[in-house]
């Protein structure tokens, strides 16, 4: 049995309560949502917070998927499993279901949350790449109120986000546009493993050409949100295998993976290209009603 | 539960009750061999198992171990004062403290020594340096952080190929006069005869050579290792609840090491959550717990955490092999040769019979009738965890089978021959058994071709090849891999096999109670293999007492006869034979008592399924239950016959048993991502007589899944500094249901001629046989890339690297 260092425990009953607790307990306190990133680190004593503020009682306040008008709003406490199972979400943003099918395993998905995933900001976290590809923005709340930041601004680097001390992520917002499609591809060594590499793509069509396209990469570098040259290369172009290959190459050129037990840097770079191509191909097929 | 495959029951199974598809498995419980649900499962599936960590003893304390952060470093100083000051800490013990009691070092199973706690220097990352005993587990763990150890870095030896370099740091300077990292050398077969055949083949035939790595892997049982040591300060008796596959062997070793009298040691192995060889060795943690209980006078529990289990306990494999085959141009294999570099880690902890430092690797000639064979091995020390255990490998047969089955495919590749055909034309023929191999192993029985043909039929081999050809023309990558293995299991004849001087024979006791129920006591210890069912069935088959009426007692040295334990697929070959023979002894006595009851001569009685009848007058009969009551009752017994109905035996096997099998794997490889999908797996096993075919299949299923793990994902790797990169199950991957196909199993039955019921071992066949089938399939899929070999584990990255021409990628 791996045992964490001693800590104290509080349960928040509302977002305001959680924020008040964070203020009172200071920077030695950590929120715990699903706990599937934080608790393993505590058991290995890589994280030794003095206080845990459990926000699972906020599951009703912050656990929702609302498709309203031209926007989807997803609460930070929405569990992986809910993201996987929501038909409403899959209808407008199929990339979520693609990704959730290959995130962890059912045990982890039953507890792990969207908010925890984004705030953990592990470079291998799939939902960060997803949210990046679909141009999501994040709602952060603190004592002085709420602010909304783009994914690009949200991600400060590995394990670092725009969420400041005393603040928490409450919601993720994604614009929905007609004639859009999205898809996600991941290579893992085994079911339930973190990505060797993965790529998500989202496109919006204007007639026969791509009006807008984005790609999010995962596990191939510290900060690969918003790869501008990719969006530039896609914009106004008719979809074609050549275009995908060109964009795939840009993805590979931007990737800065390192060699580890999941794979060599050369292989991961290759995957950045291959999976970008596959995701784009599928996103376009979905946007054009071919799937 | 219904069974879907009654067809797998053939007449040869000696099955008393063949259920139909709609039957509940246990509605027709066999009174002997046949399918029945496992007797142990109601307890295990209801969470009523009693594992080591469930053991609670009043006053019990908890032990935690401080481990080295470095792979090779001198211990400059240890300050334990802060830890000792922790309010809940009872003791903090270092190697220096143990040295005062002459307990800092202990013998390994291979006549080497291993540090219990490091005194001079640490020799692998996570080596045991000190321990803390505290009132609870949390405090023990917290106090570890209060121990201050100063280390002086030493260059480690991590790359096994550099271990014997002249300037390599010497790891084992504790051994007197040691100036290098050489551990042992071993050879088998005839070097000269083999070279003569190779010389001829170079001229007139073909020689193929390949470098093949079997990486370091871990048994990774679900339950980690641990114990509760309770040394009673008054009686001086030690009770040790321990995760051990070999309780009796451990008892004797503790007696020899710690100097405790053997009758004052009781080892209890409660339910075990998987062993796979991991629970054969004696680990420092066990010894520390015993010492702690001795020092403090209270029971002490130690349970490893997951990381400790993965990084410090017995690993397996780690052989770097060069394989060579000499053959004719027509594909007749003439000689096999190999040169092996074996990484034994910092201490030689290999679990193998003493005369077999390379285990049974000598069976690397496989299932083929050849002219000559030779193997040479150098084993070396490195700054890695010790071990080299029998991880479901039948003492290194895993490596041997992988080598030969990979090499046969290499030969097929170069000769452009079908690998199935090549195997068929080289098999040892049925009339050649018993067959003495060129390395001196006597294969007891075999009939290989029908087994191979059955597998080919089940797979639809010709259709698969046609499908492959068609797919290749479209650029799709599909592979078909075959392996045909022969194992040597059931160690073993005491004339050649012992562990630390203890012969590998097994005792067994059977006692029939007055009402005809029985208890059988065994030295072997199940870790999930189903002994409580299988052994009851063996007794039932011999004396006709239903399996449910037979209690199987095992895993407690005070209540069972001596024997060497469960590993290397030895339980059925050795203790299974003992159980059959002890039952026959009881039956012989029962027959004499029956003769008195029926007033007939012993020779006039015939026995069938628990009943003795007078020949020619079948109405005149008594059952084993009647006899049991008479044996304990008030009536007269035949002259010279004592009351009671019981017997005991110690069985010394005449030879090993040689199970075999034909495995065929079909894979698809994604050309873009290099991901491997195992689409189908056909396994036809021959383990001689099957006692419970359901348990046999269970053993095969588990072993096949294990094989998928080793072939596709398992490897303990290290960085250059010797940091172990496999410290969690997110880093050291084992397969899930998602990676394995529906297993297609079948069997043939070629009984062992020397085993009383003709049974051979089955526990490791699939672990041994499946990795080469899977690797052969992947390499076959990659044929369009001109690939002849790629090293395990075939993760997507390593397959892709192979496609780029790197068959041994950096990681
Ligand atoms: C076996 C296993 C496999 C996994 N595989 C994958 C995988 O393949 N892909 C993948 O993407 N992930 C994977 N994960 C991670 C999983 O998705 C986690 O659940 C997720 O990363 C974190 O979500 P959580 O709710 O559990 O967060 P927690 O562990 O509770 O928290 C993580 C961090 O976020 C902070 N936090 C949580 N919620 C908020 C909030 N609302 N506002 C501000 N800060 C917050 C916490 O303080 C903590 O620092 C795996 C995890 C495990 C255990």
The CATH number of the domain holding residue A12 is 3.30.43.10
- Residues A72, A164: one domain? yes
Low-confidence ranges of chain B (pLDDT < 70): 1-25, 388-391, 810-811
Chain-chain contact of A270 with B800 (C-beta, under 8 angstroms): yes
In three-state secondary structure terms, A137 is strand
pTM of the prediction?
Answer: 0.96
Give which of B112, B648, B586 is closest to B349, Cα–Cα.
B112
Hey, which residues 164-203 in chain A have their CB within 8 Å of chain B? 187, 189-194, 196
Nearest CA in chain A to B143: A5
Q: Whose CA is nearest to atom 13 of ligand 1?
A: A104
- Residues A33, A103: one domain? no
CATH number for the domain harbouring residue A154: 3.30.465.10
Q: Whose CA is nearest to atom 32 of ligand 1?
A: A116
In three-state secondary structure terms, A187 is strand
> Is A27 in contact with A165 (CB distance < 8 Å)?
yes
Q: What is the largest CA-CA distance in chain B?
A: 87
Q: What confidence score (pLDDT) does residue B390 get?
A: 63
Alpha-carbon distance B558 to B248, whole Å? 9
Instruction: Compute the count of residue pairs across chains A and B with CB atoms less than 8 Å apart.
Output: 80
Q: Which of A103, A189, A278 has the highest number of chain B CBs within 10 A, making it the mutation to test binding with B? A: A189
Q: Whose CA is nearest to atom 34 of ligand 1?
A: A116
Q: Is residue A1 part of a domain?
A: no
Q: Is residue A2 part of a domain?
A: no
Domains held by chain A: number: 3
The structure tokens listed for B445 are: 């029985």
Domains B52-154+224-271+279-312 and B315-491+655-803 share a fold: no
Chain-chain contact of B141 with A275 (C-beta, under 8 angstroms): no
> Using CB atoms, which residue from A6, A190, A271 is nearest to B733?
A190
Where in the sequence is the domain holding A101, given as residue range(s)? 59-175
Residue B698 to residues B6, B30, B704, B743, Cα–Cα distance (Å): 15, 18, 10, 11
**Residues in A touching B675 (Cβ below 8 Å):** 187
Cα of A40 from ligand 1 centre, angstroms: 10
Q: Is residue A236 part of a domain?
A: yes
Alpha-carbon distance B285 to A223, whole Å? 44
**How many angstroms away from the CA of B377 is the closest CA of chain A?**
29
A142 close contact with B: CB closer than 8 A: no
CATH number of the domain at B52-154+224-271+279-312, please? 3.90.1170.50
> Using CB atoms, which residue from A6, A44, A262 is nearest to B797?
A262
Alpha-carbon distance A253 to A231, whole Å? 14
- Residues A165, A64: one domain? yes
Low-confidence ranges of chain A (pLDDT < 70): 223-225
Cα of B219 from ligand 1 centre, angstroms: 29
The structure tokens listed for A43 are: 């058991």
Residue A202 β-bridge partners:
A182, A214
H or E segment and range at residue A254: helix A241-254
Nearest CA in chain A to B794: A189
**How many Cβ atoms sit within 10 Å of the Cβ of residue A161?**
20
Residue where a domain terminates, one of A149, A175, A201 = A175
Cα of A50 from ligand 1 centre, angstroms: 19
- Residues A75, A134: one domain? yes
> Is A202 in contact with A213 (CB distance < 8 Å)?
yes
The topology under which CATH files domain B315-491+655-803 is Aldehyde Oxidoreductase; domain 4 (3.30.365)
Q: What confidence score (pLDDT) does residue B807 get?
A: 72
- Residues A122, A67: one domain? yes
> Using CB atoms, which residue from A193, A264, A275 is nearest to B733?
A193
First-to-last alpha carbon distance for chain B, in angstroms, is 45
**Residues in B touching A264 (Cβ below 8 Å):** 797, 801, 809-811
Q: What confidence score (pLDDT) does residue B389 get?
A: 66
> Is A130 in contact with A118 (CB distance < 8 Å)?
no
Q: What is the residue-wise DSSP string for B708-773?
A: HHHHHT----B-TT--BS--STTTS----GGG---EEEEE-----SSSTT-B---TTHHHHHHHHH
The CATH architecture of the domain made up of B505-651 is 2-Layer Sandwich (3.30)
Alpha-carbon distance A100 to B544, whole Å? 56
Q: What confidence score (pLDDT) does residue B764 get?
A: 96
Q: Is residue A184 part of a domain?
A: yes
Burial class (CB in 10 A: 0-12, 13-18, 19+), A10: middle
> Using CB atoms, which residue from A187, A190, A260 is nearest to B735?
A190
In three-state secondary structure terms, B120 is coil
Q: What is the residue-wise DSSP string for B145-210?
A: TT-EEEEEE-----SGGGTTSTTSPPS-TTSTT--S-EEEEEEEE-HHHHHHHHHHHHHHSEEEEE
* Contact residues of ligand 1, CB 6 A cut-off: A 30-38, 40, 76, 103-104, 108, 112-113, 115-117, 119-120, 125-127, 163, 168-169, 192, 194; B 730
Nearest CA in chain B to A265: B797
The ipTM assigned to this model is: 0.96
The structure tokens listed for B561 are: 């006869």
Residue where a domain terminates, one of A147, A175, A203 = A175
**Residues in B touching A270 (Cβ below 8 Å):** 800
Domain locations in chain B?
Answer: 52-154+224-271+279-312, 315-491+655-803, 505-651
Residue where a domain terminates, one of A58, A77, A100 = A58
Dihedral sign from CA coordinates of B688, B691, B697, B703: negative
Chain-chain contact of A190 with B675 (C-beta, under 8 angstroms): no
Q: Is residue A73 part of a domain?
A: yes
- Residues A64, A132: one domain? yes
Cα of A272 from ligand 1 centre, angstroms: 23
| Peptide bond connecting A285 to the previous residue in cis, omega within 30 degrees of 0 | no
- Residues A264, A199: one domain? yes
Q: What confidence score (pLDDT) does residue B16 get?
A: 43
**How many angstroms away from the CA of A91 is the closest CA of chain B?**
26
Nearest CA in chain A to B730: A193
- Residues A171, A70: one domain? yes
Alpha-carbon distance B524 to B534, whole Å? 12
Chain-chain contact of B801 with A261 (C-beta, under 8 angstroms): no
Residue B411 to residues A198, B408, B448, B520, Cα–Cα distance (Å): 38, 5, 20, 50
Chain-chain contact of A262 with B674 (C-beta, under 8 angstroms): no
> Using CB atoms, which residue from A190, A261, A266 is nearest to B736?
A190
A259 close contact with B: CB closer than 8 A: yes
- Residues A82, A163: one domain? yes
Alpha-carbon distance B559 to B534, whole Å? 19
CATH number for the domain harbouring residue A269: 3.30.390.50
- Residues A164, A63: one domain? yes
In three-state secondary structure terms, B610 is coil
Chain-chain contact of B795 with A189 (C-beta, under 8 angstroms): yes
Q: Is residue A234 part of a domain?
A: yes
> Using CB atoms, which residue from B53, B717, B797 is nearest to A264?
B797
- Residues A110, A192: one domain? no
> Is A268 in contact with A196 (CB distance < 8 Å)?
yes
- Residues A157, A190: one domain? no
Contacts of residue B582, Cβ cutoff 8 Å, sequence gap at least 6? B508, B509, B510, B520, B647, B648, B649
CA angle (A194 as vertex; A189, A200 as ends), nearest 5: 100
């Amino acid at each position: 049995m791996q045992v964490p260092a001693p800590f104290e425990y509080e349960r928040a009953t509302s977002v305001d309560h959680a924020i008040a607790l964070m203020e009172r307990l200071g920077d030695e306190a950590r929120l715990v949502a699903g706990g599937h990133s934080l608790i393993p680190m505590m058991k290995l004593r890589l994280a030794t917070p003095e206080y845990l503020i459990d926000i699972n009682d906020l599951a009703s306040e912050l656990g929702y998927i609302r498709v309203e008008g031209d926007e989807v709003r997803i609460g930070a406490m929405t569990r992986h499993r809910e993201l996987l199972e929501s038909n409403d979400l899959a209808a407008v943003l199929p990339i979520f279901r693609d990704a959730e099918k290959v995130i962890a395993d059912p045990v982890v998905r039953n507890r792990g949350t969207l908010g925890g995933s984004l705030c953990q900001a592990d470079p291998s976290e799939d939902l960060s790449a997803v949210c990046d590809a679909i141009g999501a923005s994040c709602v952060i709340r603190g004592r002085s109120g709420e602010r909304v930041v783009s994914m690009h601004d949200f991600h400060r680097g590995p394990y670092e986000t725009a969420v400041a001390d005393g603040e928490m992520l409450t919601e993720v917002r994604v614009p929905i546009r007609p004639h859009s499609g999205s898809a996600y591809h991941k290579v893992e060594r085994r079911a339930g493993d973190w990505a060797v590499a993965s790529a998500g793509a989202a496109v919006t069509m204007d007639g026969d050409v791509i009006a807008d396209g984005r790609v999010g990469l995962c596990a191939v570098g510290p900060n690969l949100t918003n790869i501008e040259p990719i969006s530039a290369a896609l914009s106004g172009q008719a979809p074609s295998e050549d275009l995908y290959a060109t964009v795939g190459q840009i993805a590979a050129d931007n990737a800065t993976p390192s060699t580890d037990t999941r794979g060599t840097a050369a292989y991961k770079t290759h995957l950045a290209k291959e999976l970008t191509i596959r995701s784009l191909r599928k996103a376009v097929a979905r946007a054009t009603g071919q799937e | 539960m219904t069974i879907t495959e009654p067809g797998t029951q053939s007449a040869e199974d000696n099955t008393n009750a063949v259920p139909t598809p709609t039957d509940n498995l246990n509605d027709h419980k066999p009174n002997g061999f046949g399918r029945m649900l496992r007797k142990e499962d109601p307890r295990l599936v209801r969470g009523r198992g009693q594992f080591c960590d469930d053991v609670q003893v009043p006053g019990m304390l908890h032990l935690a171990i401080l481990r080295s952060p470095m792979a090779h470093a001198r211990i400059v100083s240890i300050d334990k004062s802060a830890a000792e000051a922790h309010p809940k800490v009872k003791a903090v013990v270092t190697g220096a403290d143990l040295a005062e009691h002459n307990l800092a070092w202990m013998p390994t199973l291979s006549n080497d020594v291993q540090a219990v706690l490091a005194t001079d220097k640490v020799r692998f990352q996570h080596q045991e340096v000190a321990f803390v005993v505290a009132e609870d587990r949390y405090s023990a763990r917290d106090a570890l952080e209060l121990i201050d150890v100063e280390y002086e870095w030493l260059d480690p030896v991590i790359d096994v190929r550099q271990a014997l370099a002249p300037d390599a740091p010497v790891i084992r300077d504790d051994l007197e006069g040691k100036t290098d990292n050489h551990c042992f050398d071993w050879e088998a077969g005839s070097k000269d005869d083999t070279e003569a055949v190779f010389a001829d083949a170079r001229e007139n035939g073909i020689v193929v050579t390949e470098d093949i790595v079997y990486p370091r892997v871990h048994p990774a049982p679900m339950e980690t290792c641990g114990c509760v040591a309770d040394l009673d300060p008054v009686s001086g008796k030690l009770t040790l609840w321990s995760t051990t596959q070999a309780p009796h062997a451990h008892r004797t070793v503790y007696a020899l090491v710690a100097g405790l009298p053997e009758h004052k040691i009781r080892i209890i192995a409660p339910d075990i959550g998987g062993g796979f060889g991991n629970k054969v060795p004696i680990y420092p943690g066990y010894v520390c717990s015993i010492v702690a209980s001795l020092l403090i006078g209270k029971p002490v529990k130690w349970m490893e955490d997951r990381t400790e289990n993965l990084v410090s306990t017995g690993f397996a494999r780690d052989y770097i092999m060069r394989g060579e085959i000499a053959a004719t141009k027509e594909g007749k294999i003439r000689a096999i040769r190999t040169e092996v570099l074996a990484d034994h880690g910092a201490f030689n902890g290999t679990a193998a019979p003493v005369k077999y430092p390379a285990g049974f690797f000598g069976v690397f000639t496989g299932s083929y009738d050849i002219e000559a064979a030779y193997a040479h091995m150098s084993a070396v020390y490195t700054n890695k965890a010790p071990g080299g255990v029998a991880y479901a490998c039948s003492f290194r047969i895993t490596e041997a089978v992988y080598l030969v089955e990979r090499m046969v495919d290499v030969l097929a590749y170069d000769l452009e021959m079908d690998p199935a055909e090549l195997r068929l034309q080289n098999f040892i023929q049925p009339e050649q058994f018993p067959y003495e191999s060129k390395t001196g192993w006597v294969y007891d029985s075999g009939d290989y071709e029908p087994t191979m043909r059955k597998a080919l039929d089940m797979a639809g081999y010709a259709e698969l090849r046609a499908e492959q050809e068609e797919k290749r023309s479209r650029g799709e990558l599909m592979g078909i891999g075959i392996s045909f293995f022969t194992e040597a299991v059931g160690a073993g004849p005491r004339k050649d096999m012992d562990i630390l001087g203890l012969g590998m024979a097994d005792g067994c006791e059977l006692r029939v109670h007055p009402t005809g129920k029985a208890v059988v006591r065994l030295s072997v210890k199940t870790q999930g293999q189903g002994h409580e069912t299988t052994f009851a069935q063996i007794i039932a088959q011999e004396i006709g007492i239903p399996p449910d009426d037979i209690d199987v007692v095992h895993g407690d040295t005070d209540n069972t006869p001596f024997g060497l334990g469960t590993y290397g697929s030895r339980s059925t070959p050795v203790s299974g034979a003992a159980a059959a023979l002890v039952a026959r002894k009881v039956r012989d006595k029962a027959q004499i008592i029956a003769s008195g009851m029926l007033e007939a001569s012993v020779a006039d009685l015939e026995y069938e399924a628990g009943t003795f009848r007078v020949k020619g007058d079948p109405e005149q009969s008594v059952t084993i239950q009647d006899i049991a009551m008479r044996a304990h009752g008030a009536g007269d017994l035949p002259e010279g016959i004592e009351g009671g109905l019981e017997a005991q035996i110690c069985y010394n096997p005449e030879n090993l048993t040689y199970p075999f099998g034909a495995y065929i794997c079909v894979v698809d490889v994604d050309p873009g991502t290099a991901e491997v999908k195992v689409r189908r797996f056909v396994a036809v096993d021959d383990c001689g007589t099957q006692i419970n075919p359901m348990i046999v299949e269970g053993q095969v299923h588990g072993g096949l899944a294990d094989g998928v793990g080793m072939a596709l994902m398992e490897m303990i790797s290290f960085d250059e500094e010797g940091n172990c990169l496999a410290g969690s199950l997110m880093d050291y991957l084992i397969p899930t249901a998602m990676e394995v196909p529906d297993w297609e199993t079948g069997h043939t039955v070629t009984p062992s001629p020397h085993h009383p019921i003709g049974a051979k071992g089955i526990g490791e066949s699939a672990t041994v046989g499946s990795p080469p089938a899977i690797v052969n399939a992947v390499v076959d899929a990659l044929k369009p890339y001109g690939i002849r070999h790629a090293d395990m584990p075939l993760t997507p990255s390593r397959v892709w690297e192979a496609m780029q021409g790197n068959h041994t990628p950096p990681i």
